[in-house]
Amino acid sequence: MKMTQSMRAGILSFAVFAVFIGVWHLAVSGGVESTAGMDPEYAKLMGKTAKGASAMPGPGAIAAELWKHVSNPFYDAGPNDKGIGIQLGYSLLRVIIGFLCAAVVAIPLGFVIGMSPLAYKAFDPFIQILKPISPLAWMPLALYTIKDSTISAIFVIFVCSLWPMLVNTAFGVASVRREWLNVARTLETGRMRTALRVILPAAAPTILTGMRISIGIAWLVIVAAEMLVGGTGIGYFVWNEWNNLSITNIIVAILFIGFFGLVLDQILARLTQAVTYAE
């Protein structure tokens, strides 16, 4: 049977993964700089054992801890001891709320900017000034004015999700073929009907690409935001495990963050494919 490109890619991916696991296992099982004469607490902090072996967990330890979290993800044993499923749920909820709020603002405003050269020239300076600002730079101001850590985190997600959607929507709307608009104008189609029946379908792939970029940035930012505000969320989980010096749980959390980031990205990638048409 002739192997397809997908099959070859799958085999190559598995081979790369196997090599990575092998190198990881060899790296953590080998000796490192001795800790003789080193303060025990400092040695523990630096990730070294008394025998001089690296305290970085190996693949087996990570797999065991991962199974432990997967088998009981929703336990609640107090404010600082919640299952990783609960922590991920809080993070996903904040990301989705902030992301949807940004979409409600960015897509209509992007339509206005894309359809009107005057609006584009008026809004462009504000976009160019505000877009490069790190979303986390807004966190102190949000905490000071809103005085609620959860809403502040959602606001930061709103800010970081806004600009990719706004810019891509405006670009997609402005790039709609003139001949399609001319046909709609010839048929005396109203502006609202033209926007919904002509411009929106044509610009949908570009709009969804902006949404895909936004969700990726939002998932990146929520981890850092939750480290700052604390309380709940996967970012807080990572910071709390660092305070507990649990490198194993930190690595497990990183794997979960990567997996759910992939899931969010693929959802919007599939939606983008669904609205993309062949010309």
Nearest to 124 by CA among 138, 109, 135, 139: 109
Residue 133 DSSP symbol = S
The boundaries of the domain holding residue 106 are: 84-275
**Burial class, 253, CB count within 10 angstroms (exposed 0-12 / middle 13-18 / buried 19+):** buried
Cβ within 8 Å of residue 199, ≥6 positions away = 111, 114, 115, 173, 176, 181
- Asked, for residue 29, whether it belongs to a domain, the answer is no
Domain count, the chain: 1
Taking only the tens of pLDDT, the chain with its 279 residues reads 577 888 888 889 999 989 998 998 888 886 444 444 445 554 454 444 444 444 678 888 899 999 999 998 898 887 778 889 999 999 999 999 999 999 999 999 999 998 888 998 999 999 999 999 988 899 999 989 988 888 999 999 999 999 999 999 999 988 887 777 777 777 767 777 777 778 888 889 999 999 999 999 999 999 999 988 878 899 999 998 888 888 899 999 999 999 999 999 999 999 998 888 765
- Asked, for residue 56, whether it belongs to a domain, the answer is no
Report CA 237 to chain centroid distance, whole Å: 16
- Asked, for residue 28, whether it belongs to a domain, the answer is no
pTM over 0.95: no
For residue 129, give the CATH number of its domain: 1.10.3720.10
**Alpha helix locations (H) across 175-246?**
178-186, 191-194, 200-229, 234-243
